[in-house]
Amino acid sequence: MKFFILVLACLILTSAAFASPGSIIRSQMISGQPVNGVRGLARDWDTGRIWVAGPNSTDNTIFTSLDIESLVPDVWITAANQYWVFDIGYGYDVGGTKYILMNDQNTPFTRIVDPLDGSYEGNLPDYYSSADYTDGNAVDWVTNYVYMSSHGNDNTVYYNGSSWNTFASISGAKNMGCAVGWDHVFFIRTDPYYTIEVYETNGTYLETIPLVGYPAGQYIMGLACGRENVVGDNESLFFADFVTGQVHEVEVGDYAGTSLQHSTWGAIKAGF
């Protein structure tokens, strides 16, 4: 009888420590956030913080970085020459300087922004059309490749510094956010799918993670790698939604523990 109770207690503790991937860990609004909410998110692998951006109105996009544990923001900065903003990427390296990439509704669709003062530093060549929308955005710090996804185009793509190439085709599109980390590429899909599509960086499809109990009609955008070992050995991602204006942290799989990956830039987390 004592053995049975011990086993049962172990099972309860195990289930508490290892929740289901796709479960929302926390949701909250950000202090001082834009009037139209956060639309883009990106992980800073140097500091461990999360960059976020959103529009107050047309021609008034603001951004800042958040403490990854408390989600307390730094000072909000205005991005110059930015009409609107969708997802963002961070860490795009030009001559040793890391920049923010902000996707816009107007061409050029991906603009290079200085994270220190919000100044406009140029743009990437357009890939998607204005009808498709250039939505998801992420930078691979290992290769400096830029990954993009679209609401209206099935193809997810990457920019290698000179040309765009197809990464993976996801039927039905609605790929509103992108993140790269732990040797994996993640795409988040909005209504009617509400899933996270997971790939290895070589383009191999790994799995689809449904958002558990996520309410229909809450249009979502933006994606960033989050915390490691946040639920058991599992990692997390951050995304935002249009309706409640909140940033959400969602549990995903154990990716950092199964690969060699930068947990902070310059340091390697090895999983054995």
Query: DSSP string covering 6-73, please?
Result: HHHHHHHHHHHHS--TT-EEEEEPPTT--TT---EEEE-TTT--EEEEEEEETTEEEEEEE-TTT--B
User: Which residue in this structure is represented by tokens 């109990």?
Assistant: 213
Homologous superfamily of the 24-267 domain (CATH): TolB, C-terminal domain (2.120.10.30)
**Residue 234 DSSP class:** B
Residue 16 pLDDT? 40
Residues 226 and 251: their CA atoms lie apart, in Å, by 9
Contact 192, 149 (CB under 8 A): no
Residue 257 pLDDT? 84
Read off φ and ψ for residue 9, nearest 5 degrees.
Answer: -65, -40
pLDDT by position in tens, the chain (length 272): 444 333 333 333 333 445 699 999 999 999 999 999 999 999 999 999 999 999 999 999 999 999 999 999 999 999 999 999 999 999 999 999 999 999 999 999 999 999 999 999 999 999 999 999 999 999 999 999 999 999 999 999 999 999 999 999 999 999 999 999 999 999 999 999 999 999 999 999 999 999 999 998 889 999 999 999 999 999 999 999 999 999 999 999 999 987 544 333 333 333 32
What residues pair up with 90 in beta bridges, in sequence order?
100
